Structure 1
Amino acid sequence: MQKLERGGQREMGIVSQEAITQLKALMDQVDEPLKATFQNIHQGYQTDTLVRFLKAREWNAAKAHKMLMECLQWRVQNEIDNILAKPIVPTDLYRGVRDSQLIGMSGYSREGLPVFGIGVGSSTFDKASVNYYVQSHIQINEYRDTVILPSASKKHGRPVTTCVKVLDMTGLKLSALSQIKLMTIISTIDDLNYPEKTDTYYIVNVPYIFSACWKVVKPLLQERTRKKVKVLSGCGRDELLKIMDIESLPHFCRQERSGSSHHSENYNCFSLDHPFHQQLYNYIKQKSASQEPVAPIKQGSFHVDLPEPAPQGTEIAKTIESEFHKFVNGNGLSKSLDDH
């Protein structure tokens, strides 16, 4: 059996190398302005980028090429290369976005991967329009890909092209149903334009209602996504400390030790006052000032074409909705769900 597996891996190596060569040959033919935005995506690590798109299309070079070309066209049409020069102003509005779209970077894993905390359960998305939330999400992606990852790669002397995400389900309740559409839009943007950027998703502080949904959503996920998701018990502290130091642990994973609550306020990676968000916001303001030294920054969101959610994403959203309703009606749920 082992021999077969090793043979399979070897064969996969040949297949993947061929696919990389094919896709590279296709991408070498790309002209401006797509060429410039492609360089902005790969940041000098072209092969790693080709591999990400190939993985997302099961190593089919033609499909990966189509996906990558559509991504480049989306970037050019929506001026994504310039989005880090478009601050969300005034600051109070941006603070509102940060207080209701809970995401932040808490540090790095021991392997050098950036660690992002996401407050799935407590994000309300009710302080701004959809466009601001999409703009903010893409800006964090672009800052990660053009500033944080290249800097980590330089520090470690090897390509660091992915991150770790820790999803906090604290506060997850029925009102989350109203946010499913926006969250599906954001995840579709990621799937189509930032594929395979997350190494592992750790899910923590899981309430009963999530356990119920997870059991039915899990089979709908693609196998490569399913393999990346790890549901941890409690706040996940002990498991996460195996791959990162305590300084990099998101604040919502620190709650199991007494005396850590006052610590949490200082290290709340969602807050606009956290060093990550301060650096990001200052970076965006500086980029904006260098581009338009005379004209004042205008208030208004940066409109990005919103994608049609993929059929799979729509199916998952519908399944979650139906499970939430079942949960409320109290039918069809067994106590054993808590164990999953």
Structure 2
Amino acid sequence: MASVRGVEESKAPEKQKALEDALYSSLHGVDDPERLIEDRNCLNRYLRAREWNVKEAGKMLKSSISWRQETKPKDIVCHTCKQQQGYHSMRQVGHDQLGRPVFYSSFTQATQRSETKEAAVQHIVYLLEQACSVMEKGADSCVWVMDCDGMFMSACNPQIAYGVNQVVSYHYPERLGLVLALNSGMLMRGAWAAIKPFVAPQTAAKLCFLPSPLTLEMLISENMGEELSTWLLEEVRLNLERPIRESQRQFWEAPPSLTGHDPRGCRSYVDRFLLPYYRKLENNEATFHHPHPNIVESLRTHHFFSMPVEAD
């Protein structure tokens, strides 16, 4: 049975370190404002992405450094979600037992009925930048649980998938550690058959189709921890209901009761990142996690109306 831990590396630690040292030396003098070259985990990821070829990994990392200077991905926000609430449903909802950020998306929840490569890339870059800021110690990748129920034809454009894969694989190598596709039908499998020949084998190996709800429950319960497993299974169940509840469709809004199911994420994610969001903003904390753009807007609205009114 597949493991949600993803593809394991077999290169001996001492050999990895030697290759990291070689890559570091080869990049001496490169203008690197974010100091990516000094990050051992970063060097290791680029080496893995190029099958431990130092020269190719160096070219790839230099390209990413230039790309980051030009695009400034830390400043990117998904404008389509800001213009149309719920346009993309993909969002971080917690961490797995390895400390990896976990994304969840549902085509049933998404309000988009058409997509562009630019919008898709913008959203995934925003999510990855935010997820990278809250990876637990020892984690260097993310998990994506993709609920394919409700998938529509325009979402299966291979050109869009190819464009997203190009950005993620070239500039976020090894960051997407595993994709779990559930409730997948002919549309999803057809789209994957079209794009798979253009995807690196080690990347393609990270997509796991879950054939049944039982497989999903077994894999998630074993690897996600009790809290996140319970949340994911309930979220999937609720999004299969027809008609879908308004509280599920508006996944960016807090539920009426904080003791019930919260579509924004599991309890620990909400407590750690959502509830203190505006306190951190007001305190001018240098870096903190930004959730899905529509969750940010909802938090801003509720924060504004909960502020005390000063007497004249």
Please confirm whether the aligned pair reaches a TM-score higher than 0.5, indicating the same fold.
Answer: yes
Tell me which residue corresponds to 2:24. 24
Tell me which residue corresponds to 2:82. 94
Whose helix proportion is higher, 1 or 2? 1
Tell me: CA distance 1:126–1:233, structure 2 relative to 1, closer, same or farther (3 Å).
closer
Separation in 1 of the partners of 2:181 and 2:27? 36
Separation in 1 of the partners of 2:72 and 2:146? 29
Separation in 1 of the partners of 2:249 and 2:227? 12
CA contact (8 A) 2:143 2:179 kept: yes
Separation in 2 of the partners of 1:226 and 1:16? 23
Match of 2:126 among 128, 139, 161: 139
Tell me: CA distance 1:16–1:267, structure 2 relative to 1, closer, same or farther (3 Å).
farther
Separation in 2 of the partners of 1:28 and 1:52? 18
Separation in 1 of the partners of 2:197 and 2:250? 31
Tell me which residue corresponds to 1:168. 147
RCO greater where, 1 or 2, for CA within 8 Å and sep 6 or more? 1
Separation in 2 of the partners of 1:102 and 1:58? 33
CA contact (8 A) 2:93 2:103 kept: yes
Tell me which residue corresponds to 1:60. 53
For the pair 1:193 / 2:171, whether they are aligned, the reply is yes
Q: CA deviation at 1:186?
A: 2.2
For the pair 1:105 / 2:83, whether they are aligned, the reply is no
Tell me which residue corresponds to 1:229. 207
Tell me: CA distance 1:286–1:257, structure 2 relative to 1, closer, same or farther (3 Å).
closer
Separation in 2 of the partners of 1:243 and 1:51? 24
Report the TM-score, using the length of structure 1 for normalisation.
0.60
Separation in 1 of the partners of 2:281 and 2:78? 9
Separation in 2 of the partners of 1:270 and 1:59? 44
Q: Which runs of 5+ in 2 are unaligned?
A: 1-9, 254-263, 287-312
Q: CA deviation at 1:102?
A: 1.9
Tell me: CA distance 1:255–1:122, structure 2 relative to 1, closer, same or farther (3 Å).
closer
Q: CA deviation at 1:58?
A: 1.4
Name the amino acid aligned to 1:202: L
CA contact (8 A) 1:115 1:164 kept: yes
Q: CA deviation at 1:251?
A: 5.9
2:68 is paired with a residue whose SS is: helix
Separation in 1 of the partners of 2:78 and 2:181? 31
Separation in 1 of the partners of 2:13 and 2:120? 40
Q: CA deviation at 1:49?
A: 0.7
Tell me which residue corresponds to 1:244. 224
Separation in 1 of the partners of 2:140 and 2:186? 34
CA contact (8 A) 2:113 2:155 kept: no
2:145 is paired with a residue whose SS is: strand
Q: 1:289-308 alignment to 2 at 5 Å? A: none
CA contact (8 A) 1:37 1:76 kept: no
Q: CA deviation at 1:56?
A: 1.1
Match of 2:188 among 205, 210, 222: 210
Separation in 2 of the partners of 1:74 and 1:210? 31
CA contact (8 A) 1:168 1:252 kept: no
Separation in 2 of the partners of 1:256 and 1:87? 24
Tell me which residue corresponds to 1:271. 251
Q: CA deviation at 1:101?
A: 1.5
Separation in 1 of the partners of 2:177 and 2:247? 23
State the Cα RMSD in Å: 4.2
Report the TM-score, using the length of structure 2 for normalisation.
0.65
CA contact (8 A) 2:87 2:111 kept: yes
Sequence identity, in percent?
Answer: 20
Tell me: CA distance 1:203–1:59, structure 2 relative to 1, closer, same or farther (3 Å).
same
Q: Which runs of 5+ in 1 are unaligned?
A: 1-8, 154-158, 292-340
Tell me which residue corresponds to 1:47. 40
Matched length: 256
